[in-house]
Structure 1
């Protein structure tokens, strides 16, 4: 089945406050680890999630998922809380760790893509460290689009991808 026609998976559904997972099921799945969720949901993808879908297809995957360092929804990372909800952080990390170790998912490639927003709050850096550790334990191949000048994995939003990487069609995965 064409990946574009597959139903969108969103956990939880119909929740304007948080999102742990967004994507489309496949047999060979691409996982993107970004900063925080924005507007995409079970009904509609946003420009960043459409870029992730494009990268999945371009790199031989028939499914993809997106998780985040923090599950609180905001279209502006600077609006993330200075102090996170500790229960939300715990639930998010547990969800991602379970996902990475479960045979329910078929993840074959992982794209780290949280951008420089990770440097705004220590809890984001701590989440990145824990998630990377689980990815390494599972021996999953890790990639980035490019590293920022601060050495963070580039975010796949359309504006920076078009401005700094020459558009989504020209983006290549680089080993992390």
Structure 2
């Protein structure tokens, strides 16, 4: 495990034994991030992906974040996202609605990468989440995949820029 980047140690954590619904640090300029599958990172423990994402956010002028996921089941490896549970999905959507209500002016960073292709149900999860975000500015890291997906932050330079992202039917 890693130490949280200075200034980014979470003060928001909603997690149970099998799901992490949200993880974040309140700031004056908070970015809502939507990944695919939560890792074991929590309020006290960081991982390489979250550490890199916090550096990227800081380098782009953000001092806070809320990490949400398409599907909140804790799975360090996206291949472990085998089964879809409608109850977990509905609970995730309710928690996302609450975050969107609390952070009314925050932009949204899509950062799930090509994992969207691994499980068909992840597209439904994304569609349901995006339907809640219709009035928001959608962003991604400036390294859109060859398939047009917003990239995952794990192997990106912490100097990468955050750019506007236009959602099209072929890059959802």
Q: After TM superposition, is the score higher than 0.5?
A: yes
Instruction: Give 2:110's aligned residue.
Output: 112
Contact 2:8 2:54 in 1 (8 A): no
Of residues 133, 144, 148, the one that matches 1:147 is: 144
Contact 1:29 1:56 in 2 (8 A): no
Shift of 1:80: 0.6
Shift of 1:55: 2.2
Is 1:98 aligned to 2:98, yes or no?
A: yes
Instruction: Give 1:11's aligned residue.
Output: 14
Of residues 112, 132, 135, the one that matches 2:133 is: 135
Shift of 1:7: 4.3
**Partner SS state of residue 96, structure 2:** helix
Shift of 1:98: 2.5
TM-score, normalising length from structure 1?
0.82
Contact 2:53 2:154 in 1 (8 A): no
Q: Which runs of 4+ in 1 moved over 3 A?
A: none
Q: Distance in 2 between matches of 1:49 and 1:7?
A: 10
Cα deviation digits, residues 61-85 of structure 1 (max 9, x gap) = 221111000000111001112x311
Instruction: Give 2:38's aligned residue.
Output: 37
In proportion to residue count, which structure has more helix? 1
When the two chains are superposed, the root-mean-square deviation of aligned CA atoms in Å is 1.7
Q: How many residues align?
A: 159
Which runs of no fewer than 5 residues in structure 1 stay unpaired? 162-166
TM-score, normalising length from structure 2?
0.84
Q: Distance in 2 between matches of 1:49 and 1:6?
A: 10
